[in-house]
Amino acid sequence: MVAAVSNPLTLKQFLALPEIEASPAWEFICGEVSQKPMPGGKHSRLQSRLGGAINATNAAYEALPELRCTFGGQSIVPDLVVLSAKDIPVDDNGDISSTGIEFAPPWMIEILSPEQSQMKVTRKILHSLRHGGQLGWLIDPYERVVLVYYPDCLPDELTGSGMLPCLSGVSLALEVDQLFGWLKVARG
């Protein structure tokens, strides 16, 4: 098991371990190996609905959950990445590849889980932006706030009726209240 490794690993050694694709996934961040926390209901609902909403509005881009992204000496597994259709890796048959990507995703979305460190998740978003990413969202379903990160500027804190910015070319129109409205369960 990855957690039992006592010696520091290199990125290459980490990627060779078969356990890294276990659920929840393992990540290699700043030379440390850690497993993502198991998502709860709020996390799962937001990940599913948001990915579906992005995919329903665009043919040129696709939201992919839990895709391994290895770049800049780290290997992370964001909750959602949004990629241009031309950048989705394919195998020899033309099917989507079973491997991840080796570049920073243009748009990375993280949804905070109760056991997750906000600082650790923020660092993942910043790492992506430093290596070519264009947009990052950190969604906190407990505070009902979305922090929006761009390269080279301070993050925006969005709540209420604030419109969520999207990657250029993605035609999603979504307010923060609408996003968190997906957490309501209809009983009837």
Is 151 within the bounds of a domain? Answer: yes
**Per-residue burial over 58-82, b = 16 or more CB atoms within 10 Å of its CB, e = otherwise:** beebbbbebbbbbbeebbbbbbbbb
pLDDT in tens, the chain (188 residues): 444 454 588 999 999 988 887 888 899 988 889 888 888 899 999 999 999 999 998 779 999 999 999 999 999 999 999 999 999 999 999 999 888 999 999 999 999 998 888 999 999 999 999 999 999 999 999 999 999 999 999 999 999 999 999 998 898 999 999 999 999 998 77
Is 7 within the bounds of a domain? Answer: no
Residue 124 structure tokens:
């993942």
Q: Which domain holds residue 102?
A: 38-181
Is 16 within the bounds of a domain? Answer: no
d(CA 28, CA 9): 9
Is 15 within the bounds of a domain? Answer: no
Is 154 within the bounds of a domain? Answer: yes
Is 94 within the bounds of a domain? Answer: yes
Whole-number pLDDT of residue 99? 85
Is 21 within the bounds of a domain? Answer: no
Q: What is the CATH number of the domain that holds 87?
A: 3.90.1570.10
160: how many CB neighbours lie within 10 A of its CB?
10
Is 23 within the bounds of a domain? Answer: no
By the 10 Å C-beta count (0-12 exposed, 13-18 middle, 19+ buried), 127 is classed as buried
User: How many separate domains does the chain show?
Assistant: 1
Whole-number pLDDT of residue 1? 46
Say if residues 127 and 95 touch (Cβ distance below 8 Å): no
d(CA 50, CA 39): 15
